[in-house]
Amino acid sequence: MKVLVPVKRVVDANVKVRVKADGSAVELANVKTAMNPFDEIAVEEAIRLKEAGKAEEIIVVSIGPQQA
């Protein structure tokens, strides 16, 4: 079995989120980002499946800029 795990880059949970002055969106300039913590759990579970012999291959995908 192959396991596909989608992951997303999000604003780091330890960073205080700031709203733009005009209130239109979250300020993302110079903000530290990290993998979504729930996605990290999914990757760990996929690794457990592979170690248990229930998965042959793990494929992790993300869509976005090169930094993603």
Q: What is the pLDDT of residue 14?
A: 87
- Cross-strand partners of 6: 61
CA distance 44 to 5: 10
CA distance 31 to 60: 24
Read off the pLDDT of residues 44-67 as tens digits, 9 standing for 90 and up: 999 999 999 999 999 999 998 887
**50, 3 contact by CB (below 8 A):** yes
Read off the pLDDT of residues 14-55 as tens digits, 9 standing for 90 and up: 888 889 899 998 888 888 889 999 999 999 999 999 999 999
Cβ neighbours for 33, distance < 8 A, ≥ 6 positions apart: 9, 10, 11, 12, 67
